Structure formats: structure tokens, C-alpha cells
Amino acid sequence: MEEKMFNGLREWIKQVEDLGECKVIEGADWNLEIGYITELVTSRGESPLLIFDKIKGYKPGYRVASAALYSPRRVALTLGLPQDQAGSMVNLLKAWRVKTRGGINPIPAMEVSTGAVKENVHTGDGVDLFEFPTPKWHELDGGRYIGTGDTVIQRDPEDGWVNLGTYRVQVIDKSTVTLHIIGGNHGDLIARKYWDRGLSCPVAIVCGGDPLIWVMSNTDVPWGISEYDYAGWARGEPVEVVKGETVDLPIPATAEIVLEGEFMSPQVETRIEGPFGEWQGYYGGGARPHPIVKVKAVLHRNDPILLGCPPMVVPNDYLTGAGILPAAALWEELDKQVPGVKGVWYITDARWKSMAVISIKQQYPGHAKQAAMVAASAYRAAVRGGKFVIIVDEDIDPSNISEVLWALATRCDPATSIDIIDECWDMASNPRIPPEKKDRGELTSSKALIYACKPFSWIERYPPSVKSKPEILEKVKKKWDKLLF
């Protein structure tokens, strides 16, 4: 049975409070302290949602939320999955696959006359981005980043469809931000269509929005289909949107903070962006000229909430909640070509999509290698930025790092169980690409395919493990649950 869905960030926070997973922190400083607290709390593993209020230098009610998806229960809540599946991320992944089994039937957004996002509208000289307690998240960041858990809205100038994407946004001055979009992403392709016509690209940047819409904006939705439509399908009803004040773009009616503006061609104007602590856990991209957005209007609710998702060297929001969707996409791709796939996951501690683990029931010689090669080349599910593909047997839970390490240490022979593929597509934020290669624009790296599974040629003679069968352990758990768990 699916859980009742929320509508907007505030309703989601209320449901998180009902789960007992929300912590309010008062009096923190936007300058690094919010980032430090977020890092400390999330470094312990699963953590509560953090709501920062009465932030230094700002009036009460102007809040920052962080650590949004650092628990399986909040992931289940966000994606509309059963709470009784939240004991395991792979169980949630399986529940998501059940939900998508009949296919995704997009439900288009529905325009309404007005919404809470328009409780306050500032245009022209009234625009002041420093109205909001935007954090400086990391010590070496080049400035304050209002867009980390954000959603950028654009419209394709040729076909008219609306794209949503999450791209980081740095505040430059009271009415100017930079927008960092990696080349080849849908947002980049759309912007270039405007720039090639000598036009700026209209954008609306949601800096505190519905977590489901935010997760969908991190998802590889096919070109030409709006993430709004996927969010509507996941919710079971259309996302309500209002028309922008200065841009012809649909904006979530329940959004907390929205910046409307013009994304300028880099041929017209750039500003230095960064450095920024990137998703790999390093300052790999450096400080470089970036195109800017001239902010024409700011819309916000009374007592607005800024949603932050700063990359940390701990399991990250992107790596838990949104990680289910790319893992599901990879599993779907594997099922088309490889039999016997029992589980798929990205190891969250290794950074988003860097390390894929696939559990299979081996059925023939070369089965493990086939699965690894398909996974390594699966477009957008793993191909860009992925470093390792690990194949394990069906008795290994790919989301359990302890079990995966056990398989690596006891079933992988380094001399014969690792293949290296060179010259794979990568991105500038990878800290391991040598500086001279980056200078030449050669953004490539290698991948390792690791077979941490029993050799198929003598699999029947492999020593049996001491692990009990899952179905037996489940019976024991049910019998002794109240006493032991």
C-alpha cells in the first residue's frame, strides 16, 4: 500500500516530523556553521532532517533545511513507497521497480491562477538575494550557494517542452548568480539553442521546492519529456504550477523561493564561479568563468525555507533518495540484456554512481563479465563518472557495504578478476584526471570491472559460506522480534 503523498516542502516536513525525524537548530551562522553542523550530523550515517532557524543576521522564520534524504524512511516518503520497505535501500529499489512495472504514464502539470509562492514578489530594484540566509557550505567555497538542492526550469525554444534540472547556483551580488551546468546535460543543450539565436535563456530557479520534484530534476528523464510529468505520475495527480511573473515558465505553486531571470550567453557576460566542494568530495573543478543569470524577479512564501544539499564526504542526499532512480534505470538496462540479475546498487560512501554493484545468479561461463560490460556502458545510468563495476553473487546484498567488502576480499583474485577499460567519458570535476589532460580538454579516465564472485568454472566446489539463508533468518526475526530487535 502506497503512503499518502505530500504537496510541497512544508507538507513534506510535517510528515517528516510525524515520523520523528526532524531536528530544529536555532542560532547557527550562515557562514560555514550550518555546513559544519550538517557535516557532523550526517557523518554518523542516517540522520534527522535539519531545519535551521533564527540564523545569525536574519529574522526568525527565514530557514534553511539540509540532510533531506539521509534516511530510508524519508526516501520512502518522498517517492511514495511503503514505509515497511524502508529497512533496506535495495528493498526500496525493488518497491520502486514494482511501482514502475506497468510503465510510467506521465501526468502533465496543471496551471492554476495563483499559489503560495506568490505571497511575496520582488522585481527590479526590489530584488535582493541577500534577503535569504544562503550558506557558505565549505571552507574553501568561492562564495555562498543558494542553489544546491534546487530545480532549474527551462523551456525548449523549438518544441516547447519544459525541462527541470538540478544545477548549482552561486550568489554573485544582489541580483546576479552563476549557473553551473555540465556540457551535454539537457539544461545546457536548451540554453545553447537560445544563445545560438542571439537570445538569453529564460530560467526559473526553485531554491526551496517539493522534494519529489527535486528528486525528479536529478533523474535522467528522456529528452522531450518534462520532469513535471514524471512527478505527476509518481504522485498520482498533476503538479500545480503558476505562470512566472517575468518569464513564461511554469513554477510550482507551493515553492518556497524562486529566482526568475535571463541566463546569459558566455559570449555576452561571465563571472568567476567557484571553487565549490563537488560531489566527489574534492575541489576538482576549480574557479572558472561561468555564464550568469540576471535575476529579474524573486518570488517567495512568507517565512521561506531554503533547501540545501551540499556535497559532503558522507552518504549524500543524492546518493540515497535520488540514487534509487539511477540504480533502477541500470537494473532495467541490465534486465534487457543479462539474465539472473538479483540486485543493483551504487555504493553511497564512494560518491554518486562512482561504484556500481550488481548481484547475479551465475548461469554460464562469461555471465559475470557480460553483466559488468553492460553496466559499464549503460548510457547515463553509469557511463559518465563511473569508476568501478563490481559483480557479486546472489547471496550478497549490493547495498550492504560489509557484505560487498567480504565478497571482494574472499572471492576476487586481483591477478585474474579485474579488467581495466581505458579512455572512458568523464567530467572536469574528477580530481584524478591529470591537470595537463584537463588543460587539453581530454576529460577521460579508466574503469575497473571487478568480479567479486565465485569462479563459474568451479562454482560448485567453492567452499560454502557460514551465512544462514535469508528466509530462515526472517522466521527467527519474526519469532523473537519483540525480545531481540
pLDDT at position 4 is: 66
For residues 38 and 50, is the Cβ–Cβ distance under 8 A? yes
Say what the pLDDT of residue 485 is: 53
CB 376 within 8 A of CB 408: no
Residue-wise pLDDT for 298-345, tens only, equals: 999 999 999 999 887 765 554 555 578 888 888 989 999 999 999 998
Helix, strand and coil content of the chain, in percent to the nearest 5, comes to 30, 25, 45
For residue 2, pLDDT over 50 is answered with no
Marked catalytic residue, from 21, 131, 278, 333: 278
Domains of the chain: 9-307 (2.30.110.10), 338-479 (3.40.1670.10)
* DSSP-assigned letter for residue 200: P
- Please give the pLDDT value at position 300: 98
Quick one: which H or E segment has residue 408? helix 401-411
Q: What is the mean pLDDT of the chain?
A: 90
And the C-alpha cell for 238?
498533476
Q: Is 425 exposed, middle or buried (0-12, 13-18, 19+ CB in 10 A)?
A: middle
Read off the pLDDT of residues 89-130 as tens digits, 9 standing for 90 and up: 788 888 998 998 878 899 999 999 999 999 999 999 999 999
- pLDDT tens for residues 234-272? 999 999 999 999 999 999 999 999 999 999 999 999 999
Q: Is-catalytic flag, 278?
A: yes
Q: Pull the grid cell for residue 9.
A: 516542502
Mean pLDDT in residue range 81-96: 86
pTM of the model: 0.82
